[in-house]
Structure 1
Amino acid sequence: MPTRRPALVAATAALLLAACGAPAPTHRGEVQGEGASVQEWGQSDMNRVATVAMRENLLALHRLADKLYRRNPAEWRRGGAASREQAVAQLRAATLQRSGWPALGPRRDIDALALALSPGYEGDRVAGFLYAVADMLITAHGGKTEFYLLDGQDAQHLYNAARNLEAAVWMLAQRRGAGGTPLLLADEINGAERNLSYEREFGKIIARVDLLAQVTTEKYRRAVIGYAQGLAGGTFLQFLPVR
């Protein structure tokens, strides 16, 4: 037994040194939720899921606006903004108010999206494209960004919106303007760089809309099942008196 002690001490020391040399875990933030509000009393679980998903999708579009303006600074200048930050703020306000976008004229929804992705579009293409995407998504959600007990979504409309966005992202990557240049510089893969952050952000939006469409198709079936479960629980899952 004594002959094993040096080996055991050496092994323990090696493990301690390895643990000390291991890199510390990287902190990548924490999930953030909103505080309770009076409005939530008028929302079902489904309403709340739809509201949070819409909020996250609009925030994602605003992040994409900032990223696209960084790679395409001529666009915010073409729109008349004094800075990239001002251009993003103007787009955010117009999106939330659904006040329209001047360069798109009266077009809304998929008509606006088709114009913003046409090679001949002469306005700020970043703003036109993302405003049209936001308008299309809000239209698919019944024209609302917050949802309460009397509100509901059409699963097929949500599904169609997700497919529209897939098509729009593909068109953005494939279509060319004058001189064969891309409509907007976005994702890039070359020998020195691999940047797919735009595609990932769009992919998150599509995934959220698709999930909401799937859950919406189950809403009424789950309501019936929940009601039946409540009846069963009330009848069979009660404690019985023992005295």
Structure 2
Amino acid sequence: MHRLGLALAPLLLVACGSAPTPHGEVQSEAFSTRELIQSDSNRMASLAMRDNLNSLFLLMDKLYRRNPAEWKKTADSPEAAVEFVRIALREGLGWGPLGERRDVAALDLALKPEFQGDRVAAFIYATADSIITAHGGSTSFNLVQGVDAQHVYNAARNMEIAMWVLASRRKADGTPLLLSNEMSAAGRNLSFEREMGKVIGRLDLLASFTTEKYRRAVISYAQGVVAGPFLQFLPVK
């Protein structure tokens, strides 16, 4: 028995060493009375919006780390610059360097080579504003609000275009508009692309779900009409 234990010991060590690394667990929000006036689709849209905005602020932090000269145009620290953009979006305010431009017009200006302001703040603000605009100007939804599936779908395509422009367009001196992804001999860092991919994926899922919701409502009604005669109670005596 002792020899068997010695023989199994290396196998147990290998098994322990190959145990999966924990990556956290799904989190649920505490109940809010606001949910009483939300349908399932309202709730899904609200959660997707929350996660998309969080992703954009995470991207803002990543971009500031690779482009530290940008936040210095806005605030005394990158954290303060992020907070300024949060406030502007939460209060529905414009972003000074973009003038009166909002939505895709603001995004277009933020990605022009000649733009001189904080390009990170302008890019994230304009991206978030375009997503909010696609959702009817709201960040939380209830029973009296709806989401236009085509507008949300268009927002996802705009994100793809913005990623391509950011990766391919150059300033007059030939340097990138912003350093984002890194692919060099030193290593590969595609965290920007992955996080933006999450945003696009959520938008596409919401657009498909919204379209499916109305289609299923029609099908459910038709099923009720067809199955109605077969669902009547029968006499038992």
* TM-score normalised per structure 2: 0.90
Give the number of the structure whose alpha-carbon radius of gyration is greater.
1
Q: C-alpha offsets along residues 14-45 of structure 1, whole Å, 9 cap, x if unaligned?
A: 34431223324311111111011100000000
Equivalent residues in 2 for 1:19-98, closer than 5 Å: 19-22=12-15, 23=17, 24-79=19-74, 81-98=75-92
Equivalent residues in 2 for 1:1-243, closer than 5 Å: 10=4, 13-22=6-15, 23=17, 24-79=19-74, 81-227=75-221, 236=231
Instruction: For residue 78 of structure 1, give the secondary structure of its aligned residue in structure 2.
Output: coil
Q: 1:228 to 1:193 in 2, by over 3 A?
A: same
Instruction: For residue 72 of structure 2, give the secondary structure of its aligned residue in structure 1.
Output: helix
Higher relative CO (Cα under 8 Å, sequence separation at least 6) belongs to: 2
Q: What root-mean-square deviation, in Å, do the aligned CA atoms of Structure 1 and Structure 2 show?
A: 2.5
Amino acid at match of 1:35: A
| Distance in 1, Cα, partners of 2:231 & 2:13 | 56
* TM-score normalised per structure 1: 0.88
| Distance in 2, Cα, partners of 1:198 & 1:14 | 47
| Distance in 1, Cα, partners of 2:23 & 2:232 | 43
Number of residue pairs aligned between Structure 1 and Structure 2:
234
Q: 1:53 to 1:237 in 2, by over 3 A?
A: farther
| Distance in 2, Cα, partners of 1:226 & 1:53 | 26
Q: C-alpha offsets along residues 66-95 of structure 1, whole Å, 9 cap, x if unaligned?
A: 11001111001112x011111111111112
Q: Shift of the alpha carbon at 1:111?
A: 0.4
Q: Shift of the alpha carbon at 1:237?
A: 10
| Distance in 2, Cα, partners of 1:90 & 1:15 | 59
| Distance in 1, Cα, partners of 2:53 & 2:150 | 20
